[in-house]
Structure 1
Amino acid sequence: MTSPTLTLVRGDITRQRVDAIVNAANSSLLGGGGVDGAIHRRGGPAILQECRALRASRYGKGLPTGQAVATTAGELDARWVIHTVGPVHSRTEDRSHLLASCYRESLRVADELGARTVAFPAISTGVYRWPMDDAARIAVETVRRTGTAVEEVRFVLFDDMAYRAFAARVG
């Protein structure tokens, strides 16, 4: 296992042609706003159906923060969606280990699936208010340090500010 190639894309994660798209999900796995809502809308009802089945079986209380689980990608241009729950940023408690875990666990699930290309959003930077520069640092460092068979990690960034923050870390 080696470190994957890191690619930056400014755009819409739901338009990526990759093996797996990572969803910045909420713990309910039942859809939400931001990236989560966009993935559920474009991917169609098959994703929600599998998420409901996960809730009914293994994740009755929801997916814990920092963990990851896969479903079909439905109508997306991918084979799978890997759902991970990022932490809400706190000024009084260091939760960076949970944010790093989102990336590590998503790569672990990708390896179990046999995914070679994975698209990540900037996890926890929307309504969970993680500062973009710090989120980029944690994401890039974690992916570089995690042994994986994934060949390409594509960070798909919604706006110029996010793109610049990740570009500063990727080098």
Structure 2
Amino acid sequence: MERSGNFYKAIRLGYILISILIGCMAYNSLYEWQEIEALELGNKKIDELRKEINNINIQMIKFSLLGETILEWNDKDIEHYHARRMAMDSMLCRFKATYPAERIDSVRSLLEDKERQMFQIVRLMDEQQSINKKIANQIPVIVQKSVQEQSKKPKRKGFLGIFGKKKEVTPAVSTIL
């Protein structure tokens, strides 16, 4: 009987070892599953960050191309540009946690300075147009007088106008400025 008692102990020990082995395998697979989930979550965050960076690059390109037509802008375009710059500014602020704040702030200040200079360019263009209109309003009188007066050709004396001195014609008063 002693043999059968040892036999049952060996079987019990085998079952215990199998149970421990199955438990270790289950723990190991659960641990690896959690690790894979953490890696996938990290990959998703990296992918989202990459998409956000790509989006901000596209927005930056569109934003920079927006200034190409500055010579044709009016007040509505300036407001639109300001709204786009503020949106770009808020996009850049979201990256302060990821990138050094000094770099983000330098880009933001460059964009703000660009907006200020573009605003000044538009104002200067408006001033130039108003000055051009004033000049155009003052010149028509002078232009009309100069068109009405025909320039007189110098007359020559002599045979067939070939041999002789030229007579100088005095210019009209309206053409002398």
Common topology (TM > 0.5)? no
Greater RCO (Cα-Cα under 8 Å, separation 6 or more): 1
Identify, as 1 or 2, the structure richer in helix. Answer: 2
* Larger-gyration structure (1/2): 2
TM-score by structure 1 length?
A: 0.23
